[in-house]
Structure 1
Amino acid sequence: MSDDHTHVQEFFTARAADWDTRFPDDGPAYTAAVADLGLREGDRVLDAGCGTGRALTPLRAAVGPSGAVLGADLTPAMLKAAVRAGRDRDGQLLLADVAWLPLRTESLDAVFAAGLVAHLPHPTANLRELARVVRPGGTLALFHPIGRAALAARHGRKLTPDDLRAQANLGPLLAGSGWHMTSYVDEDARFLALAARVD
């Protein structure tokens, strides 16, 4: 495991047990973001970097019993928290790195990723791997339950021009990794960038 991965695992292992109680009001924001992904009954969707699996229940509701919901995360403690919360009933949990997914090429209709982009060690390559597993025309949602400015303030930081999630940076990043950004919202109450898989 690389130092990048070890650092990410340590960060989330330390926070896994109380993650949901620290952010108890995020549920409706997740549900609204999943709705914007435009999933249909029977679709196959991955929650990349699923953490404690808070998106799995709205994802399951969106694709119905005939759909497939997968949740992949690098941190065993996060997946254990997802199981404790009963969210493994809504999706299959995979201990996997989003940089190297154990999934067939073009096997999914969509990827949902909450809070993932900031933790990607190699954003272009990592987003390209997400593109690999999605069919042409499929969708990607990059989500955070609060916007960039609110998140920076929460961590006592200022927004900088090199923030990957700034629209001016994210559009070209997605374009260079198999995606075309179709919408971008950065408000206090949420961040949501949607992209389509380029053929």
Structure 2
Amino acid sequence: MDEATRQYFNERAESWDEKIRPETRERLAQIIKELGIKPGSRVLDVGCGTGILIPLLLEAVGPEGKVVAFDLAEKMLAIAKAKYGEEGVEYVQGDIACAPFPDGTFDEVICNSCFPHFKDQARAVREIFRILKPGGRAVVCHTMSREAINELHRSLGGVVRDHLLPEEEEMRRLFREAGFVEVELVNRPDRYLVTARKP
């Protein structure tokens, strides 16, 4: 487990929600809507933080579906759980580079605002591939461009200074080498979105 990153986010958990802007919520709602997640799906919310995606995902999967909120930082998870309870949601602490789930568990694995923080991005993508069902989809999303995210992390310095999103070709390569197909990437001022499918 990446202890430095875990500690960084634990220290910021209490004040995390204060920093979330209304347009961030609006953009995420739009992204989730456009993904067209099927009712009854099992979805892993990687780097769930304080749970910004949980209500959106619960609405998408419906009463037959399941959301697993997954984060490195136990304090983030505790806040998410206090806010959203356990109806349709399971909370799991862990590192996506060694995901504690059996092969073929999820229909969707969504990494919102967390991919730059994966210490071993290639290994994380391979694990996402493993835990997806055949035909399942991986999603990496942010509510700003790659350039803006990388600039933000550099400006914050410290632990996250070098937590960056790779160049487009490198990102595509990470997913293709893990076995994914239909790798699509959008990078524009209001969103960064990668989708890829497990055959």
Q: TM-score, normalised by structure 2?
A: 0.87
Q: Is the 8 A contact 1:171 1:181 kept in 2?
A: no
The answer to whether the Cα contact below 8 Å between 1:37 and 1:194 also exists between their aligned partners in 2 is no
Q: CA separation of 1:14/1:39 partners in 2, compared to 1, >3 Å: closer, same or farther? A: same
What's the counterpart of residue 17 of structure 2? 20
Tell me the distance in 2 between the aligned counterparts of 1:155 and 1:128. Answer: 24
Provide the residue aligned with 2:73 in structure 1: 75
Q: Give yes or no for the alignment of 1:185 onto 2:182.
A: no
Task: Tell me which residue corresponds to 1:7.
Answer: 4
**How much does 1:155 deviate?**
4.4
- CA displacement at 1:61 relative to structure 2: 0.7
Q: Distance in 2 between matches of 1:136 and 1:29?
A: 29
1:176 aligns to 2:177 (yes or no): yes
Match of residue 29, structure 2, among 31, 37, 55? 31
Aligned to 1:160: none
Contact 1:37 1:140 in 2 (8 A): no
Cα distance in 2 for residues equivalent to 1:181 and 1:142: 14
User: What is the RMSD computed on CA atoms of the aligned residues?
Assistant: 1.8
- Asked whether the equivalents of residues 117 and 165 of structure 1 are also in contact (C-alpha less than 8 Å), the reply is no
Whichever residue aligns with residue 24 of structure 1, its letter is R
State percent identity of aligned pairs: 28
Amino acid at match of 1:96: G
* Residues 1:166 and 1:88: Cα distance change in structure 2 (over 3 Å): farther
Tell me the amino acid that sits aligned with residue 17 of structure 2: D
Per-residue CA distance 1:54-103 (angstroms, 9 max, x = gap): 11111111110001111111111111121232364452111122122222
Paired with 2:127 and 2:154, the residues of 1 have a C-alpha distance of: 32
Name the residue aligned to 1:49. Answer: 47
Q: Deviations over 1:100-136 (max 9, x none)?
A: 2222211211101012221111111111111111112
What one-letter code is carried by the residue in structure 2 that aligns with 1:131? F
Q: Partner letter of residue 50 of structure 1?
A: C
TM-score (norm 1): 0.87
Q: Is the 8 A contact 1:54 1:87 kept in 2?
A: no
Change (3 A) 1:155 1:108: closer
Q: Which runs of 5+ in 2 are unaligned?
A: 156-163
Q: Does the CA-based 8 Å contact 1:45-1:108 persist in structure 2?
A: yes
Q: Which has the higher helix share?
A: 2
* Cα distance in 1 between the residues matched to 2:76 and 2:130: 25
Matched length: 190
The aligned amino acid for 2:62 is G
Match in the other structure for 1:151: 149
The aligned counterpart of 1:122 is: 120
One-letter code aligned to 2:34: D
Higher mean C-alpha displacement, 174-183 vs 70-79: 174-183
